[in-house]
Structure formats: C-alpha cells, structure tokens
Structure 1
Amino acid sequence: MMSNANALMLLARRALTNIQTPVLSFRCFCSQSSSSYSSAPSSSPSAPNNKLFVAGLSWSLDERSLKDAFSSFGEVTEVRIMYDKDSGRSRGFGFVNFTNEDDAQTAKDAMDGKALLGRPLRISFALDKVRGGPVVVPRLSNINNVLGRRS
C-alpha cells in the first residue's frame, strides 16, 4: 500500500505531464527596406528619412570630422556621436541628418563599407525610436521546457 505522500507525488506527476507545452509568442519589430520604403502603401503619411545610422566609428573620431566626411554629399543639419555615460568614450556609432532624402541616400551608397580613420563604416537609414512598446525576450532557462526537451 502506498503512503499518502507517494500517492500525492504520483498524481502531481501525472497532472504535470498532461499540461500542454506553453508556446512562446515573439514580437518582431521590422522595418521596410529603403527600396520599398517610399513605394509601400501606408495608412499614415510617411515622413522622408533623412537620418543615417553610422556604425564602426573610431573612438578618436569627433563630430566635426564626421560632419566633414559627409558634408560633400549634401547639407548636413546635425551630427551626433553616442558616448558612454560612465567612461565618456565613444560607443562607436552615431547619426548624421541631411536636409533631404536624396542626399542621405547618396551618402549611404557612397560611404557604406568605406574606411574612415582606419575603420570600415556600416551605414543604414535610422529607424524611429519606439517608446513604450513591449519587448519580449524569452528566458534561456525555460527554452528546454518549451522545446520539449528534458533537462
């Protein structure tokens, strides 16, 4: 005859094995490519994208030098390099704003992959900052349970 504790454990195991495996729901924040950006139908009027995201910046590069590098492609209205709060050192990326979209596209095409102070630049159009939207990140500790593997 089984003890009450063993019987309770057996019932608990059976109940747990009958529960459906939870499904993770992922949210994907995607942007359209620059070629389909202007031709894609949209319910809201699309603002022109004049801001470039520039990655791969040298730590010794300053905003004036970055503006000089991009000003040959059109009028640059703002240059901003992002710095680390604690160390004050450049984080290696920044943003360059142009007055019109055509100048930004020309600069992107010409400068993407080119070296500036010995480092190749990676350039894309900047995405609008999304504030207040939830970001779902699955926990790695639970991933085996979701995939049906036993640890």
Structure 2
Amino acid sequence: MALGIGDSAPDFDLETANGRVRRQDFVGKPYVIYFYPKDDTPGCTKEAIGFSCLASEFANAGVTVIGISPDNTKSHEKFRVKHELSVTLASDPEHQLMEAFGVWVEKSMYGRTYMGVERATFLIGADGRIAAAWPKVKVDGHAEAVLAAAKAL
C-alpha cells in the first residue's frame, strides 16, 4: 500500500554518483522524490528531462528534486550526462525505500507477472510529512504539476 498525504516520509540513505542523499539532509526543508523504473527508457527520460528543465524553478521555491530507481550509480551518471540532467539521481537497488513508499509492486506485461517500480511522485513538506502524492504518474505535464504544488507549500 502506497503512502499518502499526511504520512511521515520514511527515512532513507541512498547512494548517488556524487556521494549520498539522506532524509536528514532535508530536515526543515521540502523536497520531491520521484520513483521511476529505469534509466534511459523513453518515459523515464522524458520525466527526468521535465524535472531538469524546471530545476531552477524548484530551487527558487526551496525544493530539491530526487529521482530514484533500482539502477546503479554508474547507470545514473551515464543517464545524467547523456541527457544533461540536473536533478539528483539516487539508487535503491534493494528496493527498500520503494517498498517503504509502496511503489515496488507486482506488474504484468504480455501475460508475465513480475515485481517492478510503479512510477510515482511524492512532495514532502518541511515537516517531513507527505504534502502531495501522484501515484501511477503519466509523464506529460507531470513536472509542471509537481512544481505548482511545491510553490503552493
């Protein structure tokens, strides 16, 4: 079951290409976590570019954006460089944070069932609670909707 508005954001400490990103880094500050299935796939690329294009506006609103997938940091860095991404990309290869947020789910394709990431985004307020949530994200216009909610905090 996915977390929802008002729930406390789970603790995290994840590896990035440049070090680590931790929940404790955001005490008293709002931030966005978006979960995506895989680096350099069409939908995930479009979503990452969307957030990167708005990075300065998120920064002006005092909000950090973190993209999280099961991919390793080497894959993230290659993805970041190839598409000139400016958002932080963190690795959750064991799916611990994905499971805590409820986005590591059973999926099916072509009659085959498997576990995977459900594309979802969470806006965490300065109080550490989920201020807004977007389950089963459709990429078009999504970064703009998240920015509008972030500005409204």
TM-score after normalising by structure 1: 0.26
Q: Could you say which structure has the larger radius of gyration?
A: 1
- Relative contact order: is structure 1 or structure 2 higher (C-alpha 8 Å, sep ≥ 6)? 2
TM-score after normalising by structure 2: 0.26
